Structure 1
Amino acid sequence: METIRQDYFFWRMVHYLVFQKKYRLLEQGFREVWLEDENMKPRRIVRLVRVDIDFSSWVKRDVLQSVKQFELVRKQLRLGKLEGENIYISVYPPVDSWDDINKPYFESRKKRTIVSSSIIDSAKANETELPPAPILQSIEEMETAIFHLKEQIRVEGKRREEKEKSFFFYGKPFATVMLLIVISIMFYFLERHGSSTSVLTLIEFGAKYNPLIEEGEWWRLISAMFLHIGFLHLFMNSLALFYLGSAVERMFGTGRFLFIYFIAGVSGSLASFAFNEQVAAGASGAIFGCFGALLYFGIVERKLFFRTMGKSVVTILIINLVFGFAVPMVDNGAHIGGLIGGFLASFVVQLPKLKHSIKQLVFLGVTFLYVVSLYWFGGLNEHKASNPILEVQIGQEYLQKEEYELAYPHLQRAVNLDADLPEATFLLAYAEAMFENYERARELLLQTISLRSDFHEAHYNLALVYYELGEIEEARAAVSRALELYHDDIYLELEKKLK
């Protein structure tokens, strides 16, 4: 009779911890139950064991074995530290001394896992904080009560597990797949009509280009999200979108995901417009918006977030941001802008099963102000309006296509922005020569050589300009200098011609 009473007490204690203390059920066995107290810092795991103990030696062996099990649980839950507790429910305490069982055991010198143990026998059962239970007289009544307690615990554990799973499987990633298809199709068209690394092709297909956005082509803030610069850029962003986009769309559903994605993408484009003068393209801002959505989930469901994906998400995000600051070519403004945009947009739409609240309207207003502020600052920030290197790059591509009239304003703008940039004065001189403005071309080439004396192409072009102006001696001197710097058959032909 005393044995069945302790069985009943054991399952009452488990029931109390699960329903009253809100412990999470990790594992339920016949005579052993593992529970987790998520509110404790460091995290606390309780192992309850129903066993009738004769000698303390058995308990010592079991405690030492349990320490390894607690350490395994710590690693599975990705916890920095863990406090474990063994609670043995026994009819009688061990017949020999067991005082040393109460001392804490450590998994290693780092003391990441600390395990304490205690024994509750029939005499101590009445001293626990369990609420009073109905008085049961017969063994049959106790067995029936135990069965109901075990079933309630099992159902509650299953209910919590299904509830947690429902956060990650609300929707299906239809939109993510469609976005990947559209991005791939746009990359194909870029390569077919020029090159995805060509600035002119990117601008033609809708990349973010500040001067044209300032002239009213605001749609570039959206179209830039579907363009990528080179196959590696496409591959890395597609891979990130496949994993992050799928996760966010499953959690939020397709409609909410698209709202988050486009708000983040536009925010990223606006941040790039406000802080970066380069031609930009890519889905990075929208992808970082998915990071923002996952961080929102971490705020709403903090325990579940850090128990599942939290540490990985935060680590990957930090690595990407640090990489963005370390590598000049990465548009980190777009990344951070998209991250904030996605975070705010997630508060607007919320997780599907949350009740609507006034906070959504508040965050809708905050999101609107955020987007408008980026656009407003972009209009005021004159430092991002033009970049001489970018203008040189555009002008050079036009020159390669022999579209001199289109190249000229970009090269002139580059010289105006940075008169000490030898590439700018060199290419502008070439354009002036094509228009037969040889006096201006000579002036620009002399300026180029003064900036970089070893610029052999500039010496060769100067020789050509001198030849057109009829200054043969000067032309001979210029081509000789070009040959001193670099041996080229074309230079030799001009030298022979001048002789």
Structure 2
Amino acid sequence: MFVRNENFKTFIKLYPIVSCIIAINIVIYLIIFLDKFTSTGIGYTIVNSGIGFNAAIAYGEWWRLITPIFLHITFPHVLFNCFSILLFAPALELLLGKWRFIIAYLGAGLIGNLAVYLFQPMGYSYLGASGAIFGLFGIYLFMVAIRRDLIDSFNTKIIVVILILGLISTFVYPDIDILGHLFGFLGGFILAPFLLMKVKHNPYIQ
């Protein structure tokens, strides 16, 4: 499930939504990065109008609950998140289908960002795809705990290890949006039974 051996063309064909998400993240990051040298102001405008900022959300700018999912300012941040999406998202897109995967990814990210809005102070700001990615882990955990017919023992071990490492890093590393991670994860777990209701078989399991 988590070993990627497709070539570029096949990957895009099999996982169009994942490909689009990664592409959007990279393109937006490059626009923000290049703005430092071109001084067009486009990158600044994107960040300023799209970053999660609780005071702005309270003022009525509700799109900021979604747009931060696609915003990254530093190269390590966008690299790590895109790599995580590349590894863990394709199997779920194939399993859930395009539309349910979109609901899973955006829904978990939205739940995580909504929790940040509700429980963090008005001056709090945030960005990054981590909440949505943790939502995917929440779906995998539901499979491990409840829908064991959809995941084998080998991949179960991988998920458990990744979850433990992810939760540890959430509390250890500085500048981590802890609530976004935890509630994104919880959001994925809550959405999982509805998204997996009609799924009877995992194509990765023979």
TM-score (norm 1): 0.34
Larger Rg: 1
Match of 1:274 among 118, 124, 129: 118
Amino acid at match of 1:332: I
In 1, distance between residues paired with 2:20 and 2:183?
Answer: 24
Aligned position for 1:191: 33
Aligned position for 2:180: 334
In 1, distance between residues paired with 2:150 and 2:70?
Answer: 33
Native 8 Å contact 2:85 2:133 kept in 1: yes
Q: CA deviation at 1:174?
A: 1.3
Native 8 Å contact 1:261 1:289 kept in 2: yes
In 2, distance between residues paired with 1:342 and 1:281?
Answer: 18
In 2, distance between residues paired with 1:178 and 1:263?
Answer: 17
In 1, distance between residues paired with 2:138 and 2:69?
Answer: 17
Native 8 Å contact 1:207 1:227 kept in 2: yes
Q: Secondary structure at the match of 1:339?
A: helix
CA shift digits 1:135-158 (9 cap, x unpaired): xxxxxxxxxxxxxxxxxxxxxxxx
Amino acid at match of 1:233: H
Whether 1:285 and 2:131 are equivalent positions in the alignment is yes
CA shift digits 1:348-374 (9 cap, x unpaired): 2225434xxxxxxxxxxxxxxxxxxxx
Q: CA deviation at 1:266?
A: 0.4
Aligned position for 2:4: none
In 2, distance between residues paired with 1:329 and 1:247?
Answer: 29
CA shift digits 1:109-155 (9 cap, x unpaired): xxxxxxxxxxxxxxxxxxxxxxxxxxxxxxxxxxxxxxxxxxxxxxx
% identical equivalent positions = 32
TM-score (norm 2): 0.79
In 2, distance between residues paired with 1:241 and 1:190?
Answer: 20
Inter-CA distance 184–306: structure 2 relative to 1 (3 Å threshold): same
Considering Cα pairs closer than 8 Å and 6+ residues apart, tell me whether 1 or 2 has the greater RCO.
Answer: 2
Aligned position for 1:233: 77
Match of 2:22 among 180, 188, 191: 180
Structure 1: tracts of 5 or more residues without a match: 1-170, 355-499
Amino acid at match of 1:188: L
Whether 1:261 and 2:105 are equivalent positions in the alignment is yes
Aligned position for 1:223: 67
Instruction: Show the 5 A alignment for 1:389-400.
Output: none
Inter-CA distance 185–229: structure 2 relative to 1 (3 Å threshold): same
Instruction: Show the 5 A alignment for 1:4-403.
Output: 172-194=14-36, 203-277=47-121, 278-302=124-148, 305-354=151-200
In 1, distance between residues paired with 2:150 and 2:67?
Answer: 36
User: How well do the aligned residues superpose, as a CA RMSD in angstroms?
Assistant: 2.3
Greater fraction strand: 1
Q: CA deviation at 1:246?
A: 0.8
